[in-house]
């Protein structure tokens, strides 16, 4: 149903279609208003974008490793992106995505928008391959994504390690070895929180991560300092190494950094610090990538922040 109302010298159109948000536009002539109203009043044929999202959340996300995050993203879009979700699935184009992207980048970080586009692309990939809905192209492919922000260039200064660890021991003894492991091994916070004693080989000086963020296992070498840090963990040395959950570990680190006056340091920055130190020790790119688990060397470059002063010393 459409209503066309004169507004001064122009014509305002409001279109109401069941199950879709009200659309409104203003035109210079009544003829243009009528043409647009007729086009937009046509009911959507076939499944909508929202229908795809709901089916993916119900049938696909529960079995995927990152399904909890995908379910969260798609559920939010079903609640708040009514206009986008009302578009016919076979009609979703780059213009729809561009309108959504340009508004969304004002609300969240560009990296978040990129990950949400990944979720939409996954939905369409499954719909094309498995659902026989007549969809032949993925609208996200070739779509211009928002530019990623410059990587954080945050390094620990001389003495920061000691201050962090001393404060950590005072606050919660478990967070201290976790900090050391992050700096020595470049493991992610989630990987450290899920570390288990049965996957640690003290003789071979390795820790096995059976499942990592990129979907594969990784065996991490342990330095002498990392081995020593593990001895700080209270017995029994069975099951999980750290009794702290990932959330509790994040909270503990936040408190410790504040006590040290290092409020700008995030736990994930320790992974960046570790990658940089591995290069400074003389390891080559492939060796560092094997430790950090990076499949994309360009991403590894974003993680590495070599100090110009140290490079100058190498130049002589």
* pLDDT tens digits, 258-286: 998 888 899 999 999 999 899 888 888 88
The pLDDT-based confidence of 38 (bands split at 50, 70, 90) is: confident
Q: Quick check: 173 pLDDT over 80?
A: yes
Q: Point out the domain boundary residue: 109, 130, 151.
A: 130
Peptide bond into 236 cis (omega under 30): yes
Helix, strand, coil percentages, rounded to 5, for the chain:
55, 10, 35
* Local structure of residue 174 (DSSP, 8 states): T
Listed residues 92, 111, 130: the one ending a domain: 130
Do residues 164 and 215 share a domain? yes
- Domain check: are 290 and 238 in the same one? yes
Whether 303 maps to a domain, the answer reads: yes
Q: Is the domain of 167 the same as that of 303? A: yes
Are residues 35 and 61 part of one domain? no
Residue 61 and residue 22 share a domain = no
pLDDT of residue 307: 66
- Kindly list the catalytic residues: 188, 213, 268, 271, 294, 303
- Is residue 121 located within the same domain as residue 259? no
- Do 53 and 27 fall within a single domain? no
- The Cα-based distances of 222 to 202, 210, 291, 297 in angstroms read 8, 16, 10, 22
299 and 244 in one domain? yes
Q: Which two tokens stand for residue 210?
A: 């059976």
Q: Within a domain: residue 300?
A: yes
Report the predicted TM-score, pTM, of the whole model to 2 decimal places.
Answer: 0.68
Q: Are residues 288 and 164 both part of a single domain?
A: yes
Q: Which residues contact 68 (CB under 8 A, 6 or more apart)?
A: 61
Let me know if residue 224 belongs to a domain.
yes
Show the domain range for 12. 2-40
276 falls within a domain: yes
Final residue of a structural domain among 115, 130, 145: 130
- Over range 5-29, report the average pLDDT: 77
Task: Give pLDDT, residue 69.
Answer: 92
In a domain, 265, yes or no: yes
Whether residues 199 and 265 share a domain: the answer is yes
Residues 184-199: b if buried by 16+ CB within 10 A, e if exposed = bbbbbbebbbbbebeb
Asked if the structure places residue 271 within a domain, the reply is yes
31 and 55 both lie in a single domain: no
* Number of structural domains the chain divides into: 3
């Amino acid at each position: 149903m459409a209503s066309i109302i004169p507004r001064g010298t122009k014509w305002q159109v409001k279109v109401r279609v069941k199950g879709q948000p009200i659309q409104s536009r203003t035109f210079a002539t009544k003829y243009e208003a009528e043409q647009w109203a007729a086009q937009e009043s046509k009911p959507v044929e076939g499944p909508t974008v929202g229908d795809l999202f709901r089916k993916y959340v119900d049938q696909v996300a529960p079995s995927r490793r990152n399904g909890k995050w995908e379910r969260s993203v798609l559920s939010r879009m079903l609640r708040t992106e009514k206009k986008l979700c009302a578009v016919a699935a076979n009609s979703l184009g780059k213009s729809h995505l561009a309108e959504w992207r340009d508004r969304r980048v004002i609300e969240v970080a560009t990296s978040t928008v990129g990950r949400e586009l990944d979720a939409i692309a996954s939905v369409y990939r499954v719909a094309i391959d498995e659902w026989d809905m007549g969809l032949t192209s993925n609208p996200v492919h070739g779509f211009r994504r928002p530019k990623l922000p410059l990587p954080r260039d945050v390094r620990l200064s001389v003495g920061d390690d000691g201050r962090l660890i001393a404060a950590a021991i005072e606050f919660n003894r478990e967070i201290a070895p976790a900090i050391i492991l992050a700096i020595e091994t470049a493991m992610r916070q989630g990987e450290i929180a899920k570390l288990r004693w049965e996957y640690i080989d003290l003789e071979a000086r390795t820790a096995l991560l059976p499942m990592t963020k990129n979907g594969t296992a990784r065996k991490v070498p342990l330095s002498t300092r990392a081995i020593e840090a593990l001895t700080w963990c209270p017995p029994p040395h069975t099951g999980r190494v750290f009794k702290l959950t990932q959330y509790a570990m994040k909270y503990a680190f936040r408190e410790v950094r504040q006590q040290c006056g290092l409020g700008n340091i995030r736990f994930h920055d320790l992974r960046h610090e570790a990658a940089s130190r591995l290069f400074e020790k003389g390891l080559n790119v492939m060796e560092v990538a094997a430790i950090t688990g990076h499949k994309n060397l360009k991403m590894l470059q974003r993680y590495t922040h070599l100090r110009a002063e140290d490079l100058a010393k190498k130049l002589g």
